Chain A
């Protein structure tokens, strides 16, 4: 597990796959190391890279046979992100996800009533600019006080 903290998310390099909470299990099947991961978003193109990076990192540490298995259920949630991950995101200028994952029990509109503090100046006075940002996992916000735009890692 410690070796995997050196495997970054290809899109957000300050986060490791461990910080993201992707690793479900690491075990052995004979001489093969089996790493079970939970995909973030169904269509996230980074998942392919992540699998390849985990394999090559373990191989660099001398484990030759590596198999990556994916597990859908329980579905990945940003609640599994580590405190280190939250801190790293904030330091990188991305607002970390709110405490609770997206509430799927209702479809009432205006999902944007959560307060997303500005990761740069800390102000709570921010507004949603775009429901989606540069990747599926982010939305675009702007701070009304320091006027800087920033990414928000959506609670999911």
Chain B
């Protein structure tokens, strides 16, 4: 089994799955009808992408685990999502900051994955990036509107950006998995995505009048570990809700 590829596919699938679940928690709770629609639609896109990644992960693993078994029957330490995805929804500014940082990273990563030497990976990336381009344009747009809005929305947006900032460094870390895949040109080194990411983020923040946090503060060692299964307590609560049905009624289907 291609262990590095399997782990990488779990990172992609789990990150989309967990963020999708976070966004879906806002269904019926959005601050405005338009935002409610947007969050649920973005959640739906990410869920669809997650299914593609996890299905492929199951095939690569070769243990006949399908997307459902991977999503519903693993415990928190087996999840490989980035910590940013599991950050809780507090007020809407934090939802947008989290989404904006993720979307920009997701866009630049998928752009590289479109030319992956593994054609199955390239096909999923090619499919996903069209949706993600729309996501990143929208979250950039909302970030500017909130940051450059009222004194209250500006202050909240600044707080949210500062808070989410601690968790972005992990997105750009390389380890033996990304290095092995980069050598085979299956995936890019994540550290190479940082300059383009920072460029778009700082341009957008400038337009939003929100101050860019110190880039060094994004790379604190305390705020990493998601992709190796070391999660914050937030993930357990997500899984408790997401997996309840399959845990209580094993094998239940529609």
Q: Using a CB–CB distance below 8 Å, which chain A residues touch chain B?
A: 39, 41-45, 72-77, 101-104, 107-111, 129-134, 136, 140, 154, 156
Name the B residues within 8 Å of A154 (CB-CB).
Answer: 134
- Total inter-chain residue pairs, C-beta < 8 Å: 97
Question: How many chain B residues have a CB neighbour from A under 8 Å?
Answer: 39
Within 8 Å CB of B49, what residues of A?
42-43
Whether A136 contacts B34 by the Cβ 8 Å rule is no
A75 touches B126 (CB 8 A): yes
User: Which residues of B pack against A, CB within 8 Å?
Assistant: 33-34, 37-38, 40-42, 44-49, 51-52, 104, 107, 111, 119, 122-124, 126-131, 133-134, 136-138, 140-141, 144, 200, 204, 207
CB <8 Å contact, A43 and B45: yes
Whether A73 and B107, one on each chain, are in contact in the complex, defined by CB atoms closer than 8 angstroms, is no
In the assembled complex, the Cα of A156 lies from the Cα of B41 at a distance in Å of 15
**Contact indicator A111/B134 (Cβ below 8 Å):** yes
Quick one: which of B34, B47, B129, B144 contacts A109, CB cutoff 8 A? B144
**Can you sample 11 A-B contacts with CB below 8 Å?**
A41-B131, A42-B127, A43-B45, A43-B49, A73-B123, A74-B126, A75-B126, A109-B207, A111-B138, A131-B141, A132-B37
The majority secondary structure among interface residues of chain A is loop
CB neighbours (8 Å) of A136 from chain B are 41, 44-45, 131
In whole angstroms, what is the CA distance A73 to B116 when docked? 13
Q: Is the CB of B130 within 8 A of A73?
A: no
